[in-house]
Amino acid sequence: MVLVEQSLNGLQFGLLLFLLAAGLTLVFGIMDFVNLAHGSLYMMGAYFAATFTAWTGSFILGVLLALGATLLLGIALEFVALRHLYGRDHLDQVLATFGLILFFNDAVRLIWGPAGLALPLPAWLTVPVQIIPGVYYPAYRLSIIIVALAVAALLYVVVMRTRIGMLIRAGASNREMIGALGINIKLLFTLVFGLGAALAGLAGLMQAPILTVQIGMGENILILAFVIIVIGGIGSIRGAFLAAIFVGMIDTLGRAFLPDLLRMVLSSAAASTAAPALSSMLIYLLMAIVLVVRPEGLFPAAKR
Amino acid sequence: MKLQINTSNVVVALVAAGLVVLPLYSQLTGNIFILTLFTRIIIFALAAASLNLIMGYGGMMSFGHAAYLGIGGYAVGILAHEGIGSGFIQWPVALAVSALYALVIGALSLRTRGVYFIMITLAFAQMAYYIASGMSRYGGDDGLTIYKRSSFGGLIDLSNRVQFYYLCLGCLFGGIYLIWRIINSRFGLVVQGIRSNEQRMQAIGYHANRYRLVCFVISGTICGLAGALLANNTDFISPAGMYWTRSGELMVMVVFGGMGSLFGPVIGTIFFLLLEELLSQFTEYWALIMGPLLLLIVLFARGGIMGLLGRFNRG
C-alpha cells in the first residue's frame, strides 16, 4: 500500500520535474541558451499563484492568472535582457542568468517579504480519492499527475504535429536556415521562451500547495532539472520525460524507504539524517554513470 | 616575461602594496573591521585565482568550485572535531582530499565539453553539498563549529588577526606565483594550446585530457587550501558554504576581474566583495543592484576590470 502511494508520489514529482526540464531543454535545444533563471520563473509562478488566489478568492482563477503572468514575465525577460545573449558564450549566459537569480530572489524578498507564503487548496481538492480498493490518494496530487500528463501530451502534439512545432524543430536543427526561409526567428524564440516560462510557472504553482512558497525554492529543483536534461540528452524532450520520471522515482522512493533500510545498520538518528542525503546522492551517482557510459545522454537530440 | 609599465600593471602593483600595508593602517586607526573584511577577501581571491587557472587558461568552466572550499574546510573542521589540532596534519589532509576529489570529478567531467561540463561540475558540487548535509556526526545541515584554529607549534598563531592576515596574504601571493609559473611553463602552454585548438594539439601528439585533468587537479588543490584558510577564518564550516550560489559567486569574481589575467581574480574579488559590503550598508536588498550589474558587465564589459584597464592603456 505504501509502495503504491510512494510510487505515485514519485511519478507526480517526476512529472513536475519534467515540466521544468522541458522548458529548459526546449530553450537550450533551440536557442542554444543556458537559462539558470528558469528556477526563478518556477518560483515566480508559485508566488503569483499565491497572490492571485488570495486576491480573487478562487484557486482556479488564481492559477490561470498566475500562468498568464509567468508567460508575460518570461516574454518580457526575453525581450529586455536575454535575447542579447543568444549566440554568446555559454559562460556569459550562465553568469547573466545567475545575476537574474540574485535579482529575482531579492525582488521577491522586497515585494512579498522574507517569510514564505502558503497557497491553500480549495476543499474539493483536499479529499482523498480511492484509486484501487483500500488505497486512498490525495485528490490534489492525483490532479497534478493528470494535468502534467495532459501538458506533456499537448507538448508532444504541438511539437510533433503542428506547424509551429515544425518551425521549432526546424529552428533546433538549423537556426540560420529557417531565418533565411523567411520565418521570423526572433518572434519564434520569444514564443518558445514564453512557453518554457509558462511550463516552469505551472510546475512551481502546482508544487506550491504541497511545499511552502519561499525564496530560493526554484534553485534546488533547477539543479535537478539540469541533471535530468544531462541524463536525458540536452535538447531531447523524450529524454527529459523519461529521465524526469526516473529521477522523481529515485528521489521519492529513496526518501521513503532508505531511512528504514539504513536503520538496520545505523542508529535511528543518524539514519534519518543520512537517508535524504543518500537519496539525493543516488541521483548524481546515476548521472555520473550515464556520463561515463554515454557522455551525450541517453537520448541525444539529433546532431546539428 | 619583461615587466612593462602600463595602467594595469600599475594598478596591480598598487593593490598588492595596499594589501601588504593594510594591517599597519588597521593598527594605526584601530579599524579592525577592515582587517577581517580583507582577510576574507584575500581568501576568496585565492579561490578565484585557482578557478581562473582552469577557466581563463584551461578553458574549463567549472561551476562547482565551492566544493573545494567546503572540502578543505571540512578536512580542517573534522580533524579538529576529532581532536587533531595540528595544522601540519590538517592542512596536508585538506589539500590531499581536495586533490583526490578533483581527480575523480575531473576524470568523469572531462569526458564532456561545453555546457555539459558546466552542469556536471555543478551537479557534483551539489552532491558534495548533500554529503556534507548528511554527516550527522559533524553537524549535518547546521554545520560544525571549530573551537580551536589549526596550530602550527610556535611557528605562527592563527588566532592573532595580523599573523593570520599575513598567512592568508602569503598563501595568495604564493598561489599566484605558482599559477604564473604554471602558465609560463611548457605544461601551461600546452594547456592553453588545448584551449585554443584541441584537435591540433592532439594531432601534435599531446593527450589533451591528461593535461586538462592535471590542471583541474592543481586548481582544485589550491582552492582546497583556500577552504582550509576560510574555515580557520570563520571558525565554522557548514554545507551552506558549498552551496552552488557560492560557486557562481566565484565565477563572478573571476569574470569581474578579467578571465585569463593573472591578477584579474584578485581585483575582481576585491571589487565584488567590497561592492557587496557597500551595497549591503545602504540597503538590505543589495542583490537587487548586483544582479542587473552582473548582467550589464556580461553584456558590455567583456574582459572585466583588467580588460577595461588594458583598453584604457591602448586608447
- CA distance readout (Å), A176 to A93, A173, A253, B61, B242: 20, 9, 45, 27, 41
Are B188 and B262 a contacting pair, CB within 8 Å? no
Out of A118-122, B196-200, B228-232, the most confident range is B228-232
- How far from each other are the two terminal CA atoms of chain B, in whole angstroms? 23
Chain A, nearest residue to B127 by Cα: A281
Instruction: Name the β-bridge partners of A135.
Output: A132
What is the ipTM score, two decimals?
A: 0.85
Indicate whether B71 pLDDT > 80. Answer: yes
B8 vs A202, more confident: A202
DSSP chain B: ------HHHHHHHHHHHHHHHHHHHHHHHT-HHHHHHHHHHHHHHHHHHHHHIIIIIT----S-THHHHHHHHHHHHHHHHTT--BHHHHHHHHHHHHHHHHHHHHHHHTTS-HHHHHHHHHHHHHHHHHHHHH-GGGTGGG-EE-SS--B-TTS--TTSHHHHHHHHHHHHHHHHHHHHHHHTSHHHHHHHHHHH-HHHHHHHT--HHHHHHHHHHHHHHHHHHHHHHHHHHHTEE-GGGGSHHHHHHHHHHHHHH-TT-SSHHHHHHHHHHHHHHHHHHH-S-THHHHHHHHHHHHHH-TTHHHHHHHHHHH-
Residue of A106, A228, A265 to mutate, interface with B, max B Cβ within 10 Å: A106
Are B257 and B264 a contacting pair, CB within 8 Å? yes
Q: What is the pLDDT of residue A33?
A: 87
Q: What is the pLDDT of residue B314?
A: 53
Q: Does A92 touch chain B (CB under 8 A)?
A: yes
Nearest CA distance, B102 vs chain A (angstrom): 14
Are B279 and B193 a contacting pair, CB within 8 Å? no
Nine-digit cell string for A116 = 514564505
Contacts of A68 (CB under 8 A, 6+ apart): none
B131 and A94 within 8 Å at the Cβ level: the answer is no
Q: What is the largest CA-CA distance in chain A?
A: 67
Chain B, nearest residue to A92 by Cα: B298
- Between CA A72 and CA B249 the distance in angstroms is 29
- Between CA B46 and CA B116 the distance in angstroms is 26
Nearest to B292 among A103, A105, A285 (CB): A103
Q: What is the pLDDT of residue B97?
A: 97
Q: What is the pLDDT of residue A172?
A: 75
- Between CA B148 and CA B249 the distance in angstroms is 28
- Between CA B43 and CA B229 the distance in angstroms is 7
Indicate whether B240 pLDDT > 80. Answer: yes
Are A100 and A115 a contacting pair, CB within 8 Å? no
Q: What is the largest CA-CA distance in chain B?
A: 60
Q: What is the pLDDT of residue B224?
A: 96
The amino acid present at B55, given as its one-letter code, is M
Are A199 and A159 a contacting pair, CB within 8 Å? no
Q: Does B242 touch chain A (CB under 8 A)?
A: no
Q: Does A277 touch chain B (CB under 8 A)?
A: yes
Low-confidence ranges of chain A (pLDDT < 70): 273, 301-304
Instruction: Name the β-bridge partners of B144.
Output: B237
Q: What is the pLDDT of residue A234?
A: 78
- What's the whole-number average pLDDT of chain B? 90
Is residue A162 helix, strand or coil?
coil
Nearest CA distance, A172 vs chain B (angstrom): 16
Chain B, nearest residue to A81 by Cα: B295
Nearest CA distance, A95 vs chain B (angstrom): 7
Q: What is the pLDDT of residue A301?
A: 65
DSSP percent split of chain A into helix, strand, coil, nearest 5: 75, 5, 20
- Between CA B74 and CA A90 the distance in angstroms is 32
Q: What is the pLDDT of residue A74?
A: 94
Q: What is the pLDDT of residue B2?
A: 56
Indicate whether B315 pLDDT > 60. Answer: no
Closest listed residue to residue B48, CA positions, set B295, B255, B276, B292: B255
pLDDT band at B3 (very low <50, low <70, confident <90, very high): low
Over residues B182-187, mean pLDDT? 94
Q: What is the pLDDT of residue A304?
A: 41
Q: Does A19 touch chain B (CB under 8 A)?
A: no
B35 vs A133, more confident: B35
Across chain A, how many H-helices and E-strands are there?
Answer: 11, 2
The amino acid present at A142, given as its one-letter code, is L
Q: Minimum mean pLDDT among A120-134, B166-180, B279-293: which range?
A: A120-134
- Between CA B48 and CA B42 the distance in angstroms is 10
CA A188 to chain centre: 21
A230 and B120 within 8 Å at the Cβ level: the answer is yes
Any idea which residue has 554568446 for its cell? A88
Nearest CA distance, B130 vs chain A (angstrom): 5
Are B105 and B131 a contacting pair, CB within 8 Å? no
Are B264 and B258 a contacting pair, CB within 8 Å? yes
